[in-house]
Amino acid sequence: MLDMKTIKGPALFLAQFGGDEAPFNSWDSITKWAADCGYIGVQVPSWDANLIDLDKAASSKDYCDEFKGVASSNGIEVTELSTHLQGQLVAVHPAYDDAFDGFAAPEVRGNPAARQAWAVDQVMKSLQASKNMGIGAHATFSGALAWPYVYPWPQRPAGLVETAFDELAKRWRPILDKADECGVDVCYEIHPGEDLHDGITFEMFLERVNNHARCNMLYDPSHYVLQHLDYLANIDIYQDRIKMFHVKDAELNPTGKQGVYSGYQPWVDRAGRFRSPGDGQTDFNAIFSKLSACGFDGWAVVEWECCLKHPEDGAREGAQFVKDHIIRVTEKAFDDFADSGTDEAANRRMLGIEG
């Protein structure tokens, strides 16, 4: 029998919910709210100072124990930490300097070199904090140097993309080595806007970090739906590298006026748009089946991003959606009742093999 596993969940990524108003403005209250929605785990945005003090988490196991204890008292487990915003800043093309400056601490804004150093330090601290919390996987973005050149017009000069990926790997290799020291898998969310935005680009990066064991994937099928990429075959190909899972839905409805690029329209008017789980086109029955069959035993983490539905409705419905899709895998074959109890000698007789 395959090494099947039961996926853990439901969990919720808190990035879209943290804020300055109760119950979203403190660690205690937001974990109580998440539990009330039906979740048993949360993925934590490390940049949200209302929820976590990253410096303390990186330097103090006592703080981490207390942090986890507060969540546990509310019926919640800390599933992973995230550095999506800081990871983005590990590699930024100059065209995006102003757009991404707001992700950084005020003291490094307007200074790309200082901003990058700050970002690397942030990711390193989050890896150490993950170790302190006994967490084995970490969510992030790769950042991007080549993204402005994703479409090959004007024609890309020879070596441009290769140089970009060489540099990206150079920046991430020390972080991946730190992750290995901490016993933590770095899970890059494969996402448009990042240099790691599909399987090919992930492989280009993986090759340059010498197939680093800690270089892994955060699987989010919504980004594949919008690229018209086969998100089920993706699991077959990369199952050994998929260490994290976002449950987020999407739909792609091309018209005579717009397709994948969607004509610069706002989300609600785009041909491709994110939806709450179950409201889009993603075949989650097949996804949960494939992940369970290939032995994925991580968390199913709802990431609410929907251009139509209220986030609190999406959160509550998302918890039930995941509960309904998690497959408690079987420990025996359905036809064991018909086992005839034959042995090797009987097998040889059945095949007509003499002696």
- pLDDT, tens digit, for every residue of 310-340? 999 999 999 999 999 999 997 766 556 556 6
150-159 LR contacts (CB < 8 Å, sep 24+): 150/197
Domains for the chain: give ranges and CATH numbers: 8-350 (3.20.20.150)
What is the structure's pLDDT at 113?
A: 98
Mean pLDDT of the region 152-181 = 98
1 — pLDDT class (breaks 50, 70, 90): very low
Tokens of 109: 């804004």
Half-sphere exposure of residue 40, counting CA atoms within 13 Å on the CB side? 9
Burial code (b: 16+ CB inside 10 Å, e: under 16) for 147-178 equals bebeeeeeeeeeeebeebbeebbebbeebbeb
In the predicted structure, residue 287 carries a pLDDT above the cut 90: yes
Average predicted confidence (pLDDT) for the chain = 96
